[in-house]
Each structure stands twice: as structure tokens, then as C-alpha cells.
Structure 1
Amino acid sequence: MALTLRQLKYFVATAELGQISQAAIQLTISQSAVTNAIKELEDSLGTQLFVRMASGVALTQTGRKFLNQAYTILSSVEEAMRIPNLESTLSGTLTIAASYTVIGYFLPHHLQRLSTLYPLLTINLHELNRESIEEGLITERYDMAVLLTSNVANPELVLEPVIHSARRLWLCAHHPLLKRESVTLADVAPEPFVMLTVDEAAYTALRYWADTPHRPNVKLRTSSVEAVRSMVANGSGVAILSDMVYRPWSLEGKRIETVVLRDPVPPMSVGLAWRKNREFSPGMHAVREYFRHTFMEPRSVASNL
């Protein structure tokens, strides 16, 4: 079986984070996809790269040596992508609007890759709330937008979701709920709840709480994801947020754990938007195809790129 870049990327993410679950969150894929890729890699190499433990995984001596080689290979591929190619002849200006969460936790990496692929394409980025983005797209002040699509219901806009990031319960490292075999919103309701408000997160949360007889015991409303992270890590409250904004450590260096709730909680969807019947410019086509290629093509095809 041939070694693939997908396997290397999944291996490096797991090695850096020490947990397959956290690697899956960072890569926006399933845990089984990471597990299978690592098994395929170990089978191809004929050696064990990780030692499995209750707390996660640790590199074997061979794994540590291979990690250095993996870094070299991925770095070489990244450098090769910078070589001028036919795509790099695309030029022009594209104006993109994006919401706070998208700019903070999703878009920067992709903007860098787009600038590598299309160095002559200038992308002007604007951070706005949903209402301003919708109005700007309709009046064609912005060519496209990258935003949370869940709350957009404007019939004048076309939406194309690209990722769906699962929402999970965030807890401090020694929270009693971590010992439960399953956790429901009924279990969460008595806990002090830290409610994120940015990008209509509070509105979204209240919608799925409304499907139950329970309500969150809101201790703090804040527009700061870092404030939520610190409050949860310090044991001052719990939160329900998406994997896209999850990081396992607070600014104080304290651990944050996640739990999948038994009750249905909708994922956070991120996607593209543009005005209906708008004529696409070459730059708009390029950005749309980039996201389609990165997230929406079958993994068996995209994994070798």
C-alpha cells in the first residue's frame, strides 16, 4: 500500500496532540478516519508508530524518528506548492466578508493557501456580523462571504456549506460529568453555564435547548471564546461549543475536556454565500472550487493532494 500525504498529515496531528480524538477535531474529520490512516501507515511501514494508552497515544522510538521525516516531506510538498503554475496567472480583486468566528478559527489558513495558489489575486477581507454581510452581498458591496450558514434564511442568497463542526459539552478536567456513561441536557441544566454570544451563538443555543423542557443555568454571557475557555478550564462553568473553536488548553494552561451529548445538538455549519443569480468572476470561481476541492470532494481523491 502506497504512503499518502493524508496519512502523514493525520500522523503528525496525532503525534502533536497526543490523542486521536483531538487530532480528529483539529482536522475536522472522524476519529475512525484518523485511526484507519495511522493503521494503514503502520502496515505500510511494517512497524508500530504509537503506543496506545488510556490517556491517548505516545510515539514509539521509531515513531519519533519517523515524525522528523514526516515534517520534512510535508514541508517539501508545501514548498512545491509555491512553485508558479498555471493557476497563478489568475489576477484581479475579490472582496470577501466573513463573520468573527470564521475569521478567528477557520479562514486564515485557507487565505494563506489561496494566496499561494493565486499570488496575483488580491482578496480584500471584511469582518462583519451576519446582518451586515447579508446586506452587503445583496447590494454587491461584497462578492462572496464565508460565514456560519445555520442562521441565514435570506431567499436572495445562495448558501454552500463546506464543513459541519460538531458541538460538544466542554468541561474542566475533573468534572463529575466526565464519569457518566452518557450525558444529557437535563444533566447540564443545573450546572453554571457560560453562554457565548458572538455570531448569534446564544440564539443558536436557545433553539436546541427549546426542544427540551430544560434551560441552561446561565452564569455569564460573553462574546469572548477565550473567556469561555478560561471559565470552563477553571471549573467555574460548562459550555456547549463547536469543535472548530475547541482547544484543549486555556490561556492559564489548564485542561478542557469534551463530551458528546446524548441529546441532538446541531453542528455549526460554515460555508460560502453569494447573491442569487450573480455572475461569477474568475476569482469567485477560484475560491468556490478551492473550498469544494478541500472539503467536499471524496477523501479518496483529495487525500493525495
Structure 2
Amino acid sequence: MNLRQLEILRAVMRARSTVGAARDLGMSQPAVSNAIKNAESALGFLLFDRVNKRLVPTQEAQILLKEAEPLFLMQDLISQTAAHLRTGRKGRMRIVATSELSESLLPQVVARFSRDHAGVEISLETVRLDSLLEYVEVGIVDVGFAMEPHPRHTLTYLPLAQLDMVCACHADSPLAQLSFVTPTDLRDTPLINAGNSSRISHLVREAFRRSAVDYAPAIDVRFMNVAGYFVEEGLGVTIMDQLTASSKRYGRLTTVPFKPHTQITVSAIVPAARMQQRLTQALLRHTREEIAARLAAPAI
């Protein structure tokens, strides 16, 4: 299956009709239909089910498109490079980050960076940690930002700060009156867990184990910043890092120091075999400054 067929597949999946896809692609409807039929014939399985005159993508089609997403990103990158060469822009900065850092850190960092680098085009992709490492590894982006990333020998990890884990609770919770919170204090409180397979989740579980308290979350979510929104709705408490907890998007969340003392590392990630460009170095400097200022601010 070639890239053009994948583009047509993506267009049909988005439009849910060959007519809409043809309009978006500037093609004729018969050409789009033939392309899908040829792809299905070559692949040996259907890409769409026809339901009430609508095209519903099969599970196989969804898997194909998910696997092809890095190809589209690389294609966009090549198009952007050509545009930079044509217009003579000063440069570009391609960033990838996890959900927590995209929300709690990167808006302020990009604001700092943009004030000193007017004219630089900036893009930010928000992805899961495993995808983040792949994007940096293959060169789709210039730098990635993550907390407790899994090591890869092809990548260089630049520690930016050590973050304390805190107990995030609703502002009206009795826990908010404590000087610190331990797993024992949370025995009868619903727990919200973020990222079951993440290294951060394992550290939290270990803290509960050391306190001889069972870690039995009532709710599991993928990202810590999402766990914070659940806390604000009164669904329980969560253990999260102090940087995520400092997000300005929270209005009814407060934090209390968590014991046993648990720390995680937030890092910038770059390809090991590539020299850092000056723009990347400048972005990292602004990131360190923003984190330092945030951690020095009074706790929520």
C-alpha cells in the first residue's frame, strides 16, 4: 500500500464518504472509489463496511491508519522544510511532549521562547510516552519533554529538574488541612491512578508498599493531568508531580506534601547522534527557567 493510497484512505475515513473525500483531495469520486477497491484487492481484506450508505472503517483500516501516522507527520515535515526554504523564515522548532507537560509547562515555555525568537515557527505534538520516544528517535521532532522516560541508547536524556510527588485533593477535602499526607491517611479515600504501566505509577505503588498499605485505585486514567480534573469533581484524590499540579487550569485542586518522599525526573530528550541546534539550546534554557520559577512559587 503506497502513501497516496494511505492519503485516500485517511480522507475517506474522515469524510465517511467517497464524495467528501474526493472533494477534499481534489479528485473525482470514481477515482477515490477505485483507489479503495484496488487497495482492498491488494491487501486481501475490506477497509470499509457499507452501512446505510455510509462508509464505516473496519478495525483493520483503523490499525493501518494509526501505523501510518508517522509517515504523514514526516510528509508534513518535508512540506514545512520546503516552505521554509521558499519563504526564507528564520527557523523552526518542532516539539513533542506528554499530555501533562503540554498542558502545565509548554505554554509558558513557548511564550518565553517566542519573545526572544520572533519569526521562528513552532509546532507541538502531544502524544503518549512511547510515541514520543519514537518521534525523537526518527527525527520527526527536534526535542521531546517527558517525566521518567524509558531509557533508549539512541537517545540523550537531559535532566531538567527533580519533582516531588504530592497528594492532589479537592480544595474542600479534610486532607487539605494536613501538613503532609501518607498512604495510611488515604486508606478510606478513593484513589485515582494515572498510567498503569508508567514508571511514575510504579513509584507511587512502591511508596504504598513501603507503608504497608494496599494500593487499590477506584479509577484509572491515562494521564496525570486528567486525574486532576477527576479530583476537582470530587471523585477522589491522586498522587501527582508538583509541576502538573501547578497547572493554571485547575481551580478547585489543592496539594499536600506526600510521604514517603517520592521524586521523579522531568527531562528533555534529543537524538544521541545529532548536535543540538542553537534554537533547541535556547528552548531548554527557557524550560529550565520556567520550571525553576514554578517550583519556587507558593504551593497551590
Question: Secondary structure, in 3 states, of the residue corresponding to 1:124?
Answer: strand
Match of 2:273 in 1: 277
Question: Secondary structure, in 3 states, of the residue corresponding to 1:191?
Answer: coil
Report the Cα distance in structure 1 between the residues aligned to 2:176 and 2:156, rounded to whole angstroms: 41
CA radius of gyration, larger in: 2
> Do the aligned partners of residues 265 and 276 (structure 1) sit closer, same or farther apart at CA in structure 2, a change above 3 Å counting?
same
Native 8 Å contact 1:209 1:215 kept in 2: yes
- 2:154 pairs with one of 130, 133, 156: 156
Is 2:236 the counterpart of 1:237? yes
**Deviation (angstroms), 1:118:** 0.6
Is 2:257 the counterpart of 1:260? yes
Amino acid at match of 1:152: H
Is 2:134 the counterpart of 1:141? no
**Deviation (angstroms), 1:156:** 2.1
Match of 2:286 in 1: 290
Amino acid at match of 2:279: G
Q: How does 1:58-97 map to 2 (within 5 A)?
A: 91-97=90-96
Question: Secondary structure, in 3 states, of the residue corresponding to 1:101?
Answer: helix
Match of 2:296 in 1: none
Aligned length: 206
Report the Cα distance in structure 2 between the residues aligned to 1:250 and 1:114, rounded to whole angstroms: 21
**Deviation (angstroms), 1:272:** 1.0
> Do the aligned partners of residues 198 and 113 (structure 1) sit closer, same or farther apart at CA in structure 2, a change above 3 Å counting?
farther
Q: How does 1:121-200 map to 2 (within 5 A)?
A: 121-148=120-147, 150-173=148-171, 175-177=173-175, 183-197=181-195, 200=198
Instruction: Give me the identity figure in percent.
Output: 17
Match of 1:300 in 2: none
**Deviation (angstroms), 1:296:** 6.9
> Do the aligned partners of residues 207 and 158 (structure 1) sit closer, same or farther apart at CA in structure 2, a change above 3 Å counting?
farther
Report the Cα distance in structure 2 between the residues aligned to 1:229 and 1:290, rounded to whole angstroms: 26
Question: Secondary structure, in 3 states, of the residue corresponding to 1:208?
Answer: helix
TM-score by length of 2: 0.57
Match of 1:39 in 2: none
- Please give the per-residue CA displacement for 1:71-103, whole angstroms capped at 9, x wherever unaligned: xxxxxxxxxxxxxxxxxxx92122221111111
> Do the aligned partners of residues 183 and 202 (structure 1) sit closer, same or farther apart at CA in structure 2, a change above 3 Å counting?
closer
Structure 1 gaps of 5+ residues are 1-89, 298-305
Native 8 Å contact 2:191 2:217 kept in 1: yes
Native 8 Å contact 1:165 1:242 kept in 2: yes
Match of 1:85 in 2: none
| Aligned-residue CA RMSD (Å) | 3.5
> Do the aligned partners of residues 227 and 138 (structure 1) sit closer, same or farther apart at CA in structure 2, a change above 3 Å counting?
closer
Match of 2:18 in 1: none
Structure 2 gaps of 5+ residues are 1-88, 294-300
TM-score by length of 1: 0.56
Report the Cα distance in structure 1 between the residues aligned to 2:135 and 2:248, rounded to whole angstroms: 37
Question: Secondary structure, in 3 states, of the residue corresponding to 2:139?
Answer: coil
Question: Secondary structure, in 3 states, of the residue corresponding to 1:190?
Answer: coil
**Deviation (angstroms), 1:210:** 4.0
Native 8 Å contact 1:249 1:256 kept in 2: no
Native 8 Å contact 1:130 1:199 kept in 2: no
> Do the aligned partners of residues 96 and 198 (structure 1) sit closer, same or farther apart at CA in structure 2, a change above 3 Å counting?
farther
> Do the aligned partners of residues 247 and 158 (structure 1) sit closer, same or farther apart at CA in structure 2, a change above 3 Å counting?
closer
Amino acid at match of 2:145: V
Native 8 Å contact 1:170 1:258 kept in 2: yes
Native 8 Å contact 1:170 1:232 kept in 2: yes
Q: Which moved more, 1:106-115 or 1:218-227?
A: 218-227
Native 8 Å contact 2:170 2:234 kept in 1: yes
Question: Secondary structure, in 3 states, of the residue corresponding to 1:287?
Answer: helix
Amino acid at match of 2:215: P
